[in-house]
Amino acid sequence: MNFDNLKDAWVNDKMEDLHLSMRNVPVGQTSSAVSKIRKNMKKEFILRIAVFILLVLFLLGSSKNALSVFLVSIAIFLLLLQTVYYFFRFYLFYKVTGRYDLSIKKSIYRIIYELELNIEIYRIFNYCALPLIILIIIAGCMDLTAIIPQKVAGESIVKYTSLFFIFILMIVLQIIAFFLLNLHIRLQYGRHLAELKKVMEDLEMEE
Amino acid sequence: MSTKEARFLQQIEMHNGILYKICRIYQDNAEDQHDLLQEILLQLWLSYDSFRGDSQFSSWMYRVAFNTAIVFFKKEKRRQDIFSIPSYNNLPEELHTVREQEVQLKIFYNAVQRLNKVEKALIFLYMEGQSGKEIAAILGITPSNVRVRLNRTKDKLKYIIKTMGYEF
């Protein structure tokens, strides 16, 4: 095989059989890995806000007493603040990520680093949000006065059985959430990250 | 259209062959090639402010285009287009050489599809006549590494072409 002959044909190849248009400056969405993740994040943010609204409606309809409404409102507010903060952070993060004018190695390295960092932040955000969500559901479904300390003859009495039940429930739900979250991350980012890591490994391979 | 847009499109027009070829070697399907071209154009436009004219426009374009092609993932599994290999038996004798080169190039494009993303970038830059030093700068590896990898990639290509039933 003579590459020099091929080079001549390569130079002379005007690609006339390819009908690709480039007459205007492109606008709209890109379909790069980073853009796809950004799009998924946007959808997830909208979904979370919708879940919040449903949660509030559900709690208003099933509130046991004023104490439950008070505590649940605070928890929902905290959760909302957390969600808005993290998603705004993700938005800023992905807006600046993916610089394509660096060398291939540097650019891929940066994208992998930023994706991995953001995955970790996303993981932490979900681990922090989960206990709040569990508390909101418990407070919405149960009578809080049955669990929290009661003043009996001047002394606080904690209902240990209820508390123990909540702890067990939280541990079980955290374990389930751990597996579900990892599965979700693997499905959402896994393929892209694995492919980019393969390219990086290939570039790092010494002769 | 603004002056910046007009300047951008003019520069792209001058180097459009590069973009077409990158799309062809990175995607095996016409729809994917079209999507990739749009993606590259968009990334070039978004990154256009970072081009300060210190290097050649084509060098800057290579970087953006390759980085985009490497992080570009297909929407779904699409049918692979195998470029048809034309026959040249019925052509006049004097056109045989030209036609033969065309046929060989088609076979080459088919074979390149079986290379990995880094090998595709390497062979593309080699075919474009870039020096080892320039290839090393675009890829971010050492020139000696480029030399070794390029030889390996050429051998791999020869082997692929042989397994496809061709030899030239």
pLDDT tens profile A8-25? 888 888 766 666 566 666
Cβ contact B37–A28 (<8 Å): no
| pLDDT tens-digit map of A58-104 | 777 766 677 777 777 888 888 888 888 888 887 777 676 656 778 88
pLDDT-based confidence at residue B135 (cuts at 50, 70, 90): very high
CA distance B71 to chain A (A): 6
pLDDT-based confidence at residue B88 (cuts at 50, 70, 90): very low
The answer to whether the CB of B124 falls within 8 A of the CB of B146 is no
pLDDT (0 to 100) of residue A186: 86
List C-alpha distances in Å: B150 to A24, A173, B123, B160: 36, 53, 7, 15
Tell me the chain B residues in contact with residue A5 when contact means C-beta distances shorter than 8 Å. 101, 104
ipTM over cut 0.85: no
pLDDT-based confidence at residue A165 (cuts at 50, 70, 90): confident
Tell me the chain B residues in contact with residue A6 when contact means C-beta distances shorter than 8 Å. 101, 104-105, 108, 127
pLDDT (0 to 100) of residue A50: 87
Residue position matching structure tokens 């603004």? B2
DSSP assignment string, B47-116: HGGG--SSS-HHHHHHHHHHHHHHHB--SS--PPPPPP----TTS-GGGHHHHHHHHHHHHHHHHHTTS-
The answer to whether the CB of A9 falls within 8 A of the CB of B6 is no
Tell me the chain A residues in contact with residue B39 when contact means C-beta distances shorter than 8 Å. 30-32
SS3 content of chain A, % helix, strand, coil (to 5): 75, 5, 20
pLDDT (0 to 100) of residue B126: 93
Structural tokens at position A102 = 């660096």
> What is the average pLDDT score of chain A?
77
> Judging by beta carbons within 10 Å of its beta carbon (0-12, 13-18, 19+), is residue A50 exposed, middle or buried?
exposed
Structural tokens at position B76 = 């779904």
Range of weakest confidence among A112-126, B86-100, B111-125: B86-100
